[in-house]
Amino acid sequence: MSRIYNFSAGPGVLPESVLQKVQAEMLDYRGNGMSVMEMSHRSKAFDDIIKKAEADLRKLMQIPENYKVLFLQGGASTQFAMVPLNLFRNKKADYVNTGSWSKKAMAEARRYGEVNMVASSEDQTFNYIPEITQEMFDSEADYVHITTNNTIYGTRFPSLPPVGDVPLVADMSSNIISQYYDVSKFGLIYAGAQKNIAPAGVTIVIIKDDLADSPLEITPTMLRYSTYIESDSLFNTPPCFAIYVAGLVFEWLLDQGGIKAIEKQNNEKAALLYNYLDQSALFESTVKGADRSIMNIPYVTGNSELDAKFIKEADDAGFKTLKGHRSVGGMRASIYNAMPVQGVKDLVAFMKDFENKNK
């Protein structure tokens, strides 16, 4: 069977050359006589893997030296608890509510302190990013939390909110390494890797070193950032195979020219699809203006039966996993870094043909 175009929101498409390298090294990782999946996390070979992965990520994202890079487990959902458990000092934080994941993050943080919802776009099914000014934030808040890209609803922050001296915490699960961010503007970045980096299993945390030293007393050992900082992410057995694949993806991205080069390509892919949607008489984007995501693009026909017909015919034609989330309906094309430009061009051509046949 030939490869299809995988538009899944996550786990997402991985670079084909990376998958081929994984395949070639599956039984024997570079002369070690075993797979990475069998390898001790205390071995020299794996130590080289995790150290190179960190070094390449630091190079890609231009991560300052006073930030720690951690490879954790538990997904971004575990970070919903780890962030307040480790960052609460005054036991209050400001959250911007832009979708399902920010709602879940707020609910978890409320277990440990006061959560102030600074702004929300729930009134319009999260199809925009609310206007935010610095005066809206509490100067005594321990942090401000945002979700930079909203996978389900297809929005992203067009610019970072003006938080002043309060640490900015960002869930970047669906757009990390897809566009350039100045890491020094953040106190903490976290991301489940299964959308743009690796298979499910590893979660990346980038944290300013002075934020990790005073967790709440109730914080379990396994939920303390300091536990993993002190052990170089090797306190217990980490998700070795996912870290290995992440490292290969970082190498691939460096070969593509780095984040600014892939951001240019991602903008090109998104423009191809949005430009068609904006002139289509059948399909319509559910998000308008500057808040549009370049990773996740939801769209609808306005007719649920026609949506279902399109999804079925697209699936049969090799355009897989286009069904939208139940919160929005319709379709959603996730066009992560590894989705080739040709994949979007072919999808648009298929959509044009479908529109002509279903006027």
pLDDT tens per residue across span 95-151: 999 999 999 999 999 999 999 999 999 999 999 999 999 999 999 999 999 999 999
Catalytic option among 56, 68, 94, 195 = 195
Q: Where exactly does CATH 3.90.1150.10 map onto the chain?
A: 257-357
pLDDT tens per residue across span 257-285: 999 999 999 999 999 999 999 999 999 99
Q: Where exactly does CATH 3.40.640.10 map onto the chain?
A: 16-255
Look at residue 212 and tell me whether its pLDDT is greater than 90: yes
323 is catalytic: no
CATH 3.40.50.300 fits 16-255, yes or no: no
Evaluate whether 157 touches 132 at the Cβ level (below 8 Å).
Answer: no
101 is catalytic: yes
- What pLDDT, on a 0 to 100 scale, did the predictor assign at position 1? 52
Catalytic option among 56, 94, 142, 171 = 171
Catalytic option among 101, 142, 252, 307 = 101
Among 51-55, 86-90, 285-289, the minimum mean pLDDT is found in 285-289
Please name the fold of domain 257-357. Aspartate Aminotransferase, domain 1 (3.90.1150)
Q: Read off the pLDDT of each residue in 211-229 and give the average, rounded to a whole number.
A: 97
Q: What is the pTM of this model?
A: 0.96
Q: Dihedrals φ, ψ of 209, to 5°?
A: -60, -25
pLDDT tens per residue across span 32-66: 999 999 999 999 999 999 999 999 999 999 999 99
68 is catalytic: no
132's CB contacts (< 8 A; 6+ apart) are 96, 118, 119, 161, 162
Look at residue 315 and tell me whether its pLDDT is greater than 90: yes
Distance between alpha carbon 54 and the CA centroid of its chain, in Å?
A: 17
